[in-house]
Structure 1
Amino acid sequence: MRLGVYNAILHDRPLPEAIKVIADLGLTGIELNSGGFLPATHIPNFDEILESDDARDAFLAQFEGTGVSIAGLNCNGNPLHPDRAIAAKHAEDIRRSIRLAARLGQDRVVTMSGLPGGEPGATTVNWVVNAWNSAALDVIDYQLDVAATFWAEIDELAREHGVKVALELHPQNVAFNPANFRELIERAGTTNIGVELDASHLFWQQMDPVAVVRDLGKWVFHAAAKDVRVNPAAAIYGVLDNRFRRLSADEPRTNLGGDEWANEWPTTSAWDFVALGRGHDTAFWTEFLRALQEVDPEMWVNIEHEDTSLGRIEGLEVAAKVLRDADAALEASL
């Protein structure tokens, strides 16, 4: 498999230094953030690259001789947000990312399906967790129609540019499992919209990422390597634990668009994002890679580091060793 790193954890340093970190880890790809919730830190001349061949070539020259290549673009956000300012910005980031991918010789853009409000005129998102009542199904039906209209438009743009868009199956989105992903693409009639298989968000939903890969098959376009550890607190609070703390304006916090901010994680959390191997062992990741290899042996599998107990480089080193070992075990078994 082709193994790399999603670059958000390396936004603290210039692109050439980030590339060197990845090369030193024995990995060969960097997935570049291109907008959405996070800025395109490593693509500061985004607009120039879209227009100028010289700017594009100079950008690509930074990768020559490094052993590291671009492993897709990532613009995770909410293009369906009921706040029109947030939705418009994130939607345009997706369109721009598709155009940029084509300019850079890339054919994968990672994002999220998004989540609207529950009805026309809503001002906040509405994620139905358990649709046991008919009104909840009405909300889901409305949201799928909104999403289908948007993704049909994006699919047309992606086809025009030879790009495939991979939706992360992420909770608080219209498509967060195989069933509602399929419902979305059937309603939208898309061909170039698929899935980014991030195992982490499947783990805490009590799903089996290997089984999900095999269920979705050809619709898996891209993958993320991120682990989850379920903690003893889950016995009391469950995996839908909502004990987050709102951060004040004078505390360090991450803006998610408009006046929305990431909250502080629960102190005694039901589950945590952890580096590969700290939730599931190398044997699991070998089988995860095996399932992906059955779909596409050339698929990128990129580490996403969000283990807050480990430093930026330390966490990448831990994850990279597990991923390399899993890949070697897979290769030896084939």
Structure 2
Amino acid sequence: MHLGLYTAPLHDRSLPEALEVVAGLGLNAVELNTGGFLPPVHVPVDEIDAEPATAQRYLETFKGTGVSLQGLNCNGNPLHPDPNFGAVHAEDLRRSIRVAGALGQTRVVTMSGLPAGEDGGRIAPWVVNAWSSGHLDVIERQWEVAVPFWQEIDQLAGEHGVKVALELHPQNVVFNPPSFLELIERTGATNIGVELDASHLFWQQMDPVQVVRRLGAHVVHAAAKDVRINPEAAWCGVLDNSFRRLSPEENRVNLGGDEYVNEWPKDSAWDFVALGRGHDATYWAEFITALHEVDPDMALHIEHEDTSLGPVEGVSEAAGVLLEAARIAGVR
């Protein structure tokens, strides 16, 4: 298996500097951002897309580092109704697939996206509990938009020898195993799989190990990110909307168009935490074992989003747990 890092927390460093950090932590792989919510800091995507032959010169950066490139990441919402959001992310995804092919990469991670719930709508609503027929109408309309787009992407991925790995992420048409399988059934796609990020499964009360074993070969990539359920969940549940809107004067991250990341609830029901702070190394060993049974060449990358820890501090803590889990699982 390839145990590595999605390098977003190291975007303040050059690629050689980031690779040095990764190798120093005992990890052997990286996943690099190529667009969507985050800019392509570590990959010259426009240059490679314009002239694929330059990919080989770029790959020289990895030689002698002990770290290999194992996947590109283009997480975003390619179905958002705002063309300054959705259309941009959709083209980022197409470009990422072309660039992956040029780089000899077989995995592009992204999200399935979420369109408007009605013709002409400007908001992308995520229905979390479709108890009324009107909510099912919204979901059906969103599938009508999603299906032709993903059929197009499936064909493009096949042309470039790529598997598109969908993160099972809330606020997307595909957010759990049944919705993923529905996408495959509706589209007939053969080049779309799952990026198994355990964190989003944890707080939705899914068991990542069971999901890996039931999805089997549909799982083509994975992320190591932990979640801690807090006592506040007993009061408000895990569907907590007490986020704070950040003002233009504050440091905020643009998601696309005129949408920004909100401030996380102060008394949160759950938090993304460094590996080991929600589930111990023994649990992660089970997760690694399940992934290894699906594909011994699977890439599993740390994704750092623990805001209580600095980037290198958080990645270092997670790497220690991941390597211990791999030792317990006996896969390295």
Q: Which TM-score band applies after superposition, normalised by the shorter structure?
A: over 0.9
User: Size of the alignment, in residue pairs?
Assistant: 332
Aligned mates of 1:53, 1:175 — CA distance in 2: 32
In structure 2, C-alpha distance between the alignment counterparts of 1:274 and 1:199, rounded to whole Å:
12
Task: After TM superposition, list the pairs within 5 Å mapping 1:7-22 onto structure 2.
Answer: 7-22=7-22
Unaligned runs of 5+ in 1: none
Aligned 1:251-270 pairs, distance under 5 A: 251-270=250-269
Alignment match, 2:97: 98
Q: Distance in 2 between matches of 1:237 and 1:314?
A: 31
**Is 1:211 paired with 2:210?**
yes
Aligned residues with identical type, % of pairs: 66
Q: Compute the displacement of 1:71 (Å).
A: 1.3
User: For 1:206, what is the secondary structure of its paired residue?
Assistant: coil
CA distance in 1 between counterparts of 2:257 and 2:272 reads 26
- C-alpha deviation, 1:144, in angstroms: 1.4
Cα displacement (A) at 1:8: 0.5
Aligned to 1:61: 60
- Report the CA distance between 1:58 and its aligned residue: 2.4
- Alpha-carbon separation, structure 1, partners of 2:12 and 2:242: 29
- Is contact 1:145–1:187 with CA below 8 Å preserved after alignment? no
Name stretches of at least 5 consecutive residues in structure 2 with no aligned partner: none
Q: Partner residue of 2:155?
A: 156
Q: Aligned runs of 1:43-122 on 2, under 5 Å?
A: 43=43, 45-52=44-51, 55-122=54-121
SS at match of 1:325: helix
Q: Indicate the residue corresponding to 1:34 in structure 2.
A: 34
Residue 2 (structure 1) aligned with residue 16 (structure 2): no
Following TM superposition, by how much is the alpha carbon of 1:54 offset from its aligned partner in structure 2, in angstroms?
5.5
**Residues 50 and 99 in structure 1, CA contact (< 8 A), matched pair in contact too:** yes
Shift of 1:85: 2.1
Question: Which structure 2 residues correspond to residues 182-193 of structure 1 after superposition, within 5 A?
Answer: 182-193=181-192
Whole-Å Cα distance in 2 between the matches of residues 65 and 320 of structure 1? 21
| Paired residues of 2:224 and 2:275 also in contact (CA < 8 A) | yes
Structure 1 pair 172–23 and aligned structure 2 pair: CA distance change class (3 A): same
Please provide the CA RMSD for this pair. 1.1
Contact 2:52 2:99 in 1 (8 A): no
- Secondary structure, counterpart of 1:62 in structure 2: helix
Give the partner amino acid of 1:116.
Answer: P
Deviations 1:52-101 (A, max 9, x none): 35632221111000001111000000000011221110000110000000
**CA positional deviation for 1:10:** 0.5
Q: Residue 136 of structure 1: CA displacement?
A: 0.9
For 2:10, the aligned partner's letter is: L
CA contact (8 A) 1:155 1:193 kept: yes
Q: In structure 1, what residue type is equivalent to 2:324?
A: D
Residue 23 in structure 1 maps to residue 12 in structure 2: no
Q: Is the 8 A contact 2:45 2:96 kept in 1?
A: no
Aligned to 1:294: 293
Moved over 6 A (4+): none
* Post-superposition offset of 1:51: 3.3
SS in structure 1 at match of 2:85 = helix
Q: Distance in 1 between matches of 2:48 and 2:74?
A: 17
Question: What CA distance in whole angstroms lies between the structure 1 residues aligned with 2:270 and 2:235?
Answer: 12
Q: SS at the partner of 1:85?
A: coil
TM-score, reference length from structure 1:
0.98
In the aligned structure 2, how far is the partner of 1:198 from the partner of 1:14? 26
Tell me how far apart the structure 2 counterparts of residues 150 and 11 of structure 1 sit (CA, whole Å).
30
Query: Is the CA contact 1:148–1:185 (under 8 Å) kept in the aligned structure 2?
Result: no
- The whole-number CA distance in structure 2 between the counterparts of 1:55 and 1:150 is 29
Distance across 2 between alignment mates of 1:272 and 1:137: 30
Tell me the SS of whatever aligns to 2:173: coil
Letter in 1 for 2:290: A
Letter of the 2:298 counterpart:
M
Deviations 1:272-304 (A, max 9, x none): 000000000111100001111111010000000
For residues 85 and 186 of structure 1, what CA distance do their matches in structure 2 show? Answer: 30
**Secondary structure of residue in 2 paired with 1:84:** coil
Residues 191-225 of structure 1: CA deviation (Å, up to 9, x unaligned): 00110000000001011111111111110010000
The SS at the match of 1:32 is strand
Q: TM-score, normalised by structure 2?
A: 0.98
Which whole-Å CA distance do the structure 1 matches of 2:27 and 2:84 have between them?
A: 38
CA contact (8 A) 2:10 2:18 kept: yes
Q: Report if aligned partners of 2:33, 2:42 keep a CA contact under 8 Å in 1.
A: yes
